[in-house]
Each structure stands twice: as C-alpha cells, then as structure tokens.
Amino acid sequence: MNSLQLLPESASTFANEWNWLFWMLVALCGFVATGIAVLLIYWVVRYHRKREDELPVQIHGNIKIEAAWSLIPLMLFMGMFAWGARVYFRMERPPDNARAIYAIGKQWMWKFQYVTGQREINTLHVPVGEPVKIIMTSQDAIHSLFVPAFRIKQDVLPQRYTTIWFQATKPGRYHLFCAEYCGTKHSGMIGWVYAMDAHEFQLWMEQGGAEGSLASTGEKLFHQFGCATCHHFDTQGACPMLRDLYGRPVRLTSGETIIADETYLRNKILNPRAQLIEGFQPIMPTFSGQLTEEQVVALIAYIKAIGPRPGTELPVSPGNAPSNYGSQQGIAGPEATSISGSKPRDR
C-alpha cells in the first residue's frame, strides 16, 4: 500500500490555474465554515440554558445584517463564477496550432490514432511544452476521457466528436481514466499518458505507423470505397467538392447553415441522406456498417488534409447560387494547411 498522498499531481498548464482557484476556494470556504462553526459552538456553550424555565431575550431579526450576509456572499459567488468561467474558457478553446490526436472510446478501452499513423491502445504519448488536442468519439455508450494530472475531462459521445486539449508541462507517466460509467469493465477502462520532452517525443514519432500517416490511410479508403468516382478534387460534379470543405459553413436544404466539422463529415459518410447541402441531390450511398470508427477517422483526416489549390476561386453548388460554401469571406481566411494542421472552430 502506497503512502498517503494529499496533493494531486500537476503536469499541465491548466493544473496551475486550477490549483490556485481550488486552494483559494478552500481557504475562503474553510475560513467561513470555521467561523460559523466557532460561533455556533461558542454560543451554544456560552448561552447554555441555566434553568429549566429560562426565557432569553427575544431577538427577531435585523434587516441590515440580512442584507449584509445576502449581498456579500452573492458578490463572492460572482467572483468565484467569473474566475471559474475564465479557466473554463481556456479549457474549451484549443489553440489553432494544437497537435491533433484522434481517440475512440469503446467498451472497455481507449484507441488512439496519431496523424502520423501510430495506433495505441490505452496509452497516449504526448510532447511536453506543446498543445495537444484530442478529437474523440465513442463506438457505443458515453465514456469520458479524464487525465487528473492535466485537470482535463470531457465526455465522449456516440455519433459525435468532442474535443479536449492540454499542454503538458512535466515529463512523466500519468493516469488516464474513463470517467463516465459505461458498464461492466468501466473501472478497467484506464491507461497511461506518457509526457515526453520534445527530443524523445520526436524519436518516438519517427517510429511511425506501419501503414503510414492517418491521412494516407484515409486516401486509400477514399479510393477503395469509390468516393473518388463522385467527389472530384477540382471540379464540381454531382457531388460537393471536398477541397477546403472542413471548417467551412455549409447551407443545408432545410435552410440552416452549419459548420462542416468532424461530426458533420462523419454523419455524411454514415447517413448521407440527412443534412443535405442545398442544391445537391441525395444520391450518396451510405457507408454505415462498412466502415469502422477508425476508418471514418482516417477519412476525416484525409478530408482535413486536402487544402485549397492556391489562387483558385472555388465554385459552389451546381445552380451557382451564392452561398457561404467555399466563399473567401467565410470564417477562415486562406491559410496554409498541412497534414497535421487544424482548422478553426473545432468543437
């Protein structure tokens, strides 16, 4: 049995902010709670009934005191809210240059896929000093990726991608847990995060994946499953062009405009009849049941990796109605993309 540990490991940029907020709250609440306890105990002793028929002075209330102990806590609570919200905002906004790693949670293991092609089960290798973002989905029930030392946690949902990010500050080995109950082996769905300094991480990355990068796997699937017959790169056929699609707003036949993020791409591959883009016919066949989650992730990585051809104005729907799709006035201006690059507005 290990010795008693009372302070949590701190190994990410979030950890310090979290520690400050947490221990300040402990101090503040501890102070107030102690104050109440001391007053209560002291008065209970001091005013102990002296005789059975004693009637003490009858005090009914005091508006000023009521106002004070209503408004002062309220202001303190607003301060706690603001500070907590600030930390949270940072946790929810991965930096643009965060290194993307894909994760699939399933009963009862974590599968990680690196853009360079490595795959790991229940282990995650990350560099120290560099932001890392994990784009994750579940194959079955709801799971939750939790790394206590980094102070991060995010639920992992089926049919959707959620994102979590962190920047490790200390090399070491840290627990990774599933934090959303998911069945029999929920407590076995655990692993390790290995944070390595830049040089060691570089060496580890160079081992590479046997099959090549994630996007190259996606490219092979793209051809193997016949996507290329309809989705051309530089011409608009009966199917939307996929160049520079990721991260752009698209207008649907329902009138809504949504961002083409990982969840959208996944849903289009597996259930193409839903969320039709305006101006296109529902002719795409479904690949539900034919692709594993890992293969879907590879395809998405490939689509993300396809960048715009420099200097090209992208045509839009066959009817040539102006839409946001492909517009240079879209959310992201032109930017260089790379295999492991990221687009803005990852959800």
Partner 1 sequence: MTDPSALMLREQFGTPEQQRESATFGMWIFLATEVMLFGALFTAFAVYRMKYPLGFDEGSADMNILLGSINTAVLIASSLTMALSIHAVAINKQVRGYLLLLATAALGLVFLTIKFVEYYQHYEQHKAPGISFVSDKPQAAEMQMFYVFYFVMTGFHAIHMTIGVCLVLVLALRTAAGSFRPAYHTPLEAVGLYWHFVDIVWVFLFAIFYISGLHG
Partner 2 sequence: MSTLATPVRAAATPNYLTSERGILSWLLTTDHKRIALLYVFSVTAFFFIGGFFALLMRLELVTPETDLVSPHTYNELFSMHGIIMVWFFLIPSIPNTLGNFLIPMMIGAKDLAFPKLNLASWYVFMLGGMVTLWAMFRGGIDTGWTFYTPFSTVYSQTYVTGAALGVFISGFASIMTGLNFIATIHRLRAPGLTWFRLPLFVWSHYATSVILVLATPVLAVVLSMVAVERIFQVGIFSTPLGGDPVLFQHLFWFYSHPAVYIMVLPGMAVVSELVAAYSRRPVFGYTFVAFASIAIAVIGFLVWGHHMFVAGQSVYSALYFSLLSYMVAVPSAIKVFNWTATVYKGSVSWETPMLYAIGFIGLFTIGGMTGLFLAALGIDVHVTDTYFVIAHFHYIMVGGTVMAYLGGIHYWWPKISGKMYPEGLSKLSALTVFLGFNLTFFPQFVLGYLGMPRRYAAYPAEFQYLHILSTAGATILGAGYLMPLCYFFWAWRHAPEAPPNPWRATGLEWQTPSPPPKHNFEVTPVVTHNAYDYEGMKEELGLD
The window from 74-82, 235-243, 244-252, 253-261 that contacts partner 2 (CB under 8 A) reads: 74-82
- Pick 55 or 121: Cβ nearer partner 2: 55
Q: How far is the CB of 267 from partner 1 (least distance, A)?
A: 11
Q: Is 177 in the site for partner 2 (CB under 8 A)?
A: yes
Q: Is 1 in the site for partner 2 (CB under 8 A)?
A: yes
The window from 65-73, 123-131, 252-260, 299-307 that contacts partner 2 (CB under 8 A) reads: 65-73
For the chain, the first-to-last Cα distance in angstroms comes to 42
List the single partner that 321 binds among partner 2, partner 1, none, CB under 5 to 8 Å by kind: none
The single residue among 185, 273, 345, 347 that binds partner 1, judged by CB under 8 A, is 273
List the single partner that 69 binds among partner 1, partner 2, none, CB under 5 to 8 Å by kind: partner 2
Looking at residue 194, its amino acid is Y
117 contacts 208 by C-beta, under 8 angstroms: yes
List the single partner that 253 binds among partner 2, partner 1, none, CB under 5 to 8 Å by kind: partner 1
The single residue among 229, 253, 312, 320 that binds partner 1, judged by CB under 8 A, is 253
Looking at residue 39, its amino acid is L
Q: How far is the CB of 158 from partner 1 (least distance, A)?
A: 15
Q: Is 91 in the site for partner 2 (CB under 8 A)?
A: yes
Q: How far apart are the C-alpha atoms of 217 and 339, rounded to whole Å?
A: 12
- Pick 29 or 230: Cβ nearer partner 2: 29
Q: Which residues contact 115 (CB under 8 A, 6 or more apart)?
A: 99, 100, 101, 102, 213, 214, 215, 301, 339, 340
Q: Is 274 in the site for partner 1 (CB under 8 A)?
A: yes
List the single partner that 39 binds among partner 2, partner 1, none, CB under 5 to 8 Å by kind: partner 2
Beta strands 172-178 and 131-138: pairing type? unpaired
316 contacts 325 by C-beta, under 8 angstroms: yes
Reading phi first (left if > 0) and then psi (alpha if -120 to 50, else beta), residue 130 is in beta
List the single partner that 254 binds among partner 1, partner 2, none, CB under 5 to 8 Å by kind: partner 1
CA angle 267, 268, 270 (to 5 degrees): 65
The single residue among 56, 61, 282, 310 that binds partner 1, judged by CB under 8 A, is 282
Q: How far apart are the C-alpha atoms of 169 and 17, rounded to whole Å?
A: 13
Q: Which residues contact 242 (CB under 8 A, 6 or more apart)?
A: 231, 233, 303, 306
Q: How far apart are the C-alpha atoms of 154 and 176, rounded to whole Å?
A: 12
- Pick 50 or 199: Cβ nearer partner 2: 50
Q: What are phi and psi of 71, to 5 degrees?
A: -80, -40
Q: How far is the CB of 95 from partner 2 (least distance, A)?
A: 16
List the single partner that 107 binds among partner 1, partner 2, none, CB under 5 to 8 Å by kind: partner 2
| Distance from chain centroid for Cα 135 | 6
List the single partner that 282 binds among partner 1, partner 2, none, CB under 5 to 8 Å by kind: partner 1
> x/- string (CB under 8 A) for partner 2, residues 273-302?
-x----------------------------
